[in-house]
Chains A and B, each alone.
Chain A
């Protein structure tokens, strides 16, 4: 009896430990408009055209107003259970990581393997980007703030929450006080929007995109080659579509485009949680979801493939070889 009770207690503890979805990371990033209009920008020539990109590092180092707003927002979000990922620290960390990667060497003198793609993908990432811009404007002797905050889901680039508006003009209050007021005024409404997004995620799954492509030297066939599986002979493309129907939340996905060399699947709703081979409940991410498809193709169709992640919410599965 005692053993039975012990097993029950440990099972409950285990469920508590593992049975939770992955907490989204949130980071405030000043909008391109904010950075470029204030001169925090980098310009370079590319294919004969001048490109302008925001210089986040310069913005964080020089703009006291921006730091004030981010600090206030961070304080509010931490109270709501979502400490913000700090952009400035993240940029500093990436610089250090690049330097350390170049310095580390094994006892035989070998360096850490890093492909050009790894270097290209070394960017600050978060599940939800809070795209922020604000202005301190004047109306006669009065000053007022216009505030624009957009919550962008990095997986789908969709806006999941937003808060925008102008504050009350004042001639007495300092700009710092007006900025603080703007944050206090808008954050409750913004968080209500985030709550709606999270509720939708738990009810209908996380929305991601998946692209299936083919290596050009795959001689065994393409996505329109017929394969026999589960008692039915169909094109590989149709077998893959069936797999998505079986593994998405309520079969929700849309095949936006398809040919013999590619399938573009959008609005793929992947479950938040799954039970792995050892019976543990685990959070699902895009890569984990597409890994299951890769395993399915390997085990049932004898097709190798490789996963390539494009950002947090988009994965490519390139079939034909690893």
Chain B
């Protein structure tokens, strides 16, 4: 009897220790929220070779409701090709970032703040190919924090975007200096 009680205490101790150990590795709710809201958290997948000067991709966004998540996904699509580039796939080669300087987002903070306003200039370089609200696997409901994660299929007007950033003095032309 005594042996059984000792064994039970030992197992209880082991269970509590393992739980505490694992919970240390988990992210807090605020951490997760910050991750979802991060400006550079792009979950993007190229879906094929775009027509002349465009890139087609599937991109995810997070939001308190579906509309917010779609808006964030639109911003992410444009931001991904400007700052990070998009990996290749589905027969398309990788798309390089338009800005090669890793600190470009901080250097031109004022420019990009107005560029990425909800009704900002970025909308001129985006065509949506998703009809209606995302559904099924492209629309995930999250509990902690509460909100939605949605995917949209977007066509980014890559060449037009590059030309605009070159004209605004944010990106350098290939023939810069010659």
Contacts and interface: CB of A to CB of B under 8 A. Distances in A.
B177 A189 contact: no
B52 interface: yes
A144 B174 CA distance: 30
A300 B99 CA distance: 49
Interface of A: 20-24, 79-82, 144, 163, 165-169, 181, 184-186, 188-189, 191-192, 194-196, 198, 202, 272
Given A167-B91, A168-B48, A80 B178 contact: no
A165 B93 contact: yes
A5 to B, nearest CB: 26
A93 B177 CA distance: 30
Contacts of B172: 195
A23 B159 CA distance: 22
A185 B174 contact: no
B134 interface: no
B42 to A, nearest CB: 17
A194 B177 CA distance: 14
B100 A192 contact: yes
Contacts of B95: 188-189
B174 A81 contact: yes
A166 B174 CA distance: 26
Nearest to A192: B96
A202 B159 CA distance: 25
Interface size class of B (residues with CB under 8 A): 20 to 34
Given A20-B177, A168-B92, A185-B49, 6 more contacts: A80-B175, A165-B93, A168-B49, A168-B90, A184-B49, A189-B95
Interface string B78-96: 0000000000101111111
B174 A181 contact: no
Given A188-B158, A189-B96, A195-B100, A81 B91 contact: no
Contacts of A79: 159
B174 A195 contact: yes
Contacts of A20: 177-178
Contacts of A21: 177-178
Contact of A198 (B50, B91, B94, B177): B177
B173 interface: yes
A24 to B, nearest CB: 7
Interface string B57-91: 00000000000000000000000000000001011
A196 B91 CA distance: 25
